[in-house]
């Protein structure tokens, strides 16, 4: 039994199905809400806070990717306050690691870089933490550069939910959090990795890339995850 609800997004009344999230409904109706950790076909985690929206009757901003629609709900996707929060979130992502866009394999094809431009982030107002982080080059076909990881977890969920291998997870906590394969093994020695490369395609930045592509050359096939999901649902 599919229950229908009516919600208002940026003033427009939209019919939706109960259980859908605000983000899903918005995107299905060509309303743009930015997001980094969300990826169609994966579970939502509400980690990056870029998709925050205003919901009538709720005092704080809520992440659109994890908030279900409800009858009579009124959603606003962009206000000066929302935009300023999104900008802060983006700036903090840059400040945390060493992105150095100019010499990144994903420059020009990076979701973080593009979102920063879209939101008019011309500089970061916080001091950079400049951690010294390794690059894992041990896998024969792929590379993991921790300097460019934003801990969105898309690789973790892709590997766990789509490939079923769950090679990746996030270890540590706070500023020390980092992506880990198995028990902190070098990627090339991870026995559960099938080398399918879907994590690389899911990565929004240059943190994961195919080996051998030079700066600016790494373009990703972002739809691989949603295509697989929809094909499986269809079968």
Partner 1 sequence: MSNALAMALPRVEDQDLIDRIIGDQAGRPGALLGILEKLQDANRHKYLPMESLEYVALRTGVPQSQVYGVATFYALFNLDPQGTHTVAICRGTACHTRGSRALLERVKLQLGLEESGTADKLTLTTPDRKFTVRTVACFGQCALAPVVEIDHAIRGHVKEQALIREVDLLRKEAAR
Partner 2 sequence: MDKVKIGTCWLDGCSGCHMSLLDVDESIVTILRKADIVYGPLVDAQEWPEGTDVAIIEGAVSSQDDRELVQTARARSKYLIALGDCAVTGNVPSMRNGIAVRKLLERVYVEGADVSAGIPTDGVPPLLRQAEPLRQTVKVDLHVPGCPPRPNAILMVLSELLEGREPDLGSKLRFG
Partner 3 sequence: MTTKTTPKPQAEASAARKLTIHPVSRIEGHAKITIRLDEQGQVADTQFHVTQVRGFEKFVEGRPYYEMPSITARICGICPVSHLLASSKACDSIMAVRIPPAAAKARELLHMAQFVQSHALSFFHLSAPDLLLGMDYDPAKRNVAGLLEEHPDALRDGIALRKFGQTLIERLGKERIHPSWTVPGGVNNPIDPSVRDKTLAELPSAVAIVERTLAMWKAAVEGFPAEVESFSNFPTMYCGNVGPDGSLRLYDGNLRFVGPDGAIVADQVAATDYATYVAEATLPHSYLKAPYFRPVGFPGGVYRVGPLARLNVADRTGTPLADAELAEYRQRYGRIVQSGFHYHYARLIEALHGLERIGELLDDPEILGTRVRAHAGVNNNEGIGVIEAPRGTLIHHYKVDDNGAMTWANLIVATGHNNLAIGRGVEQVAKRFVHGSKIEEGALNRVSALVRAYDPCLSCSTHVLGQAAVVLQLEGPDGEILDEIGTV
Interface with partner 3 includes 215 (CB under 8 A)? yes
Q: Which does 42 bind (CB under 5 to 8 A by kind): partner 1, partner 2, partner 3, none?
A: none
- Binds partner 3 (CB under 8 A): choice among 217, 226, 228, 229: 217
User: Tokens 């919901």, residue?
Assistant: 55
Q: Which does 118 bind (CB under 5 to 8 A by kind): partner 3, partner 2, partner 1, none?
A: partner 2
Interface with partner 3 includes 131 (CB under 8 A)? no
Neighbour count for residue 8 (Cβ, 10 Å) = 14
User: Cβ 89 to partner 1, closest distance in Å?
Assistant: 21
Cα 50 to Cα 42, 69, 168, 193, distances in angstroms: 17, 18, 23, 30
H or E segment to which residue 69 belongs: none
Interface with partner 1 includes 11 (CB under 8 A)? no
Q: Which does 182 bind (CB under 5 to 8 A by kind): partner 3, partner 2, partner 1, none?
A: partner 1
Over its C-alpha atoms, the chain yields an Rg (Å, rounded) of 19
User: Tokens 């590379």, residue?
Assistant: 143
SS3 state at 76: strand
Q: Which does 117 bind (CB under 5 to 8 A by kind): partner 2, partner 1, partner 3, none?
A: partner 2
Would you say 55 or 203 has its CB closer to partner 3?
203
Cα 169 to Cα 3, 38, 150, 154, 165, distances in angstroms: 36, 16, 13, 10, 11
H or E segment to which residue 118 belongs: helix 111-118
- Binds partner 3 (CB under 8 A): choice among 45, 74, 138, 192: 138
x/- binding map, residues 110-149, to partner 1, per CB under 8 A?
---------------------x------------------
Q: Which two tokens stand for residue 192?
A: 């559960």
Q: Residues in the site for partner 3, rule: CB under 8 A?
A: 102-103, 105, 134-135, 137-138, 140, 143, 188, 211-217
């Amino acid at each position: 039994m599919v229950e229908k609800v009516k919600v208002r997004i940026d003033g427009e009344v939209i019919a939706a199905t109960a259980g859908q999230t605000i983000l899903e409904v918005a995107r299905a109706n060509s309303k743009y809400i930015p997001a980094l950790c969300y990826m169609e076909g994966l579970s939502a985690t509400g980690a990056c806070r870029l998709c925050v929206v205003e919901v009538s009757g709720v005092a704080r901003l809520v992440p659109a990717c994890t908030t279900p629609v409800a009858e009579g709900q009124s959603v606003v996707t962009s206000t000066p306050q929302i935009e300023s929060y999104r900008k802060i979130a983006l700036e903090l992502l840059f400040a945390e690691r060493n992105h150095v866009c100019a010499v990144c394999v994903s420059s020009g094809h990076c979701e973080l870089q593009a979102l920063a431009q879209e939101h008019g982030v011309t500089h970061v107002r916080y001091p950079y933490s400049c951690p010294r982080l390794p690059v894992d080059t041990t896998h024969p076909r792929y590379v993991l550069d921790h300097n460019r990881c934003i801990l969105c977890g898309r690789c973790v969920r892709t590997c766990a939910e789509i490939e079923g291998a769950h090679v990746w997870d996030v270890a540590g906590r706070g500023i020390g959090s980092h992506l880990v394969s198995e028990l902190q093994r070098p990627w090339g020695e991870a026995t559960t990795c099938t080398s399918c490369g879907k994590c690389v395609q899911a990565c929004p930045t240059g943190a994961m890339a195919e080996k051998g592509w030079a700066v600016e050359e790494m373009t990703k096939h972002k739809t691989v995850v949603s295509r697989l999901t929809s094909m499986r649902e269809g079968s």
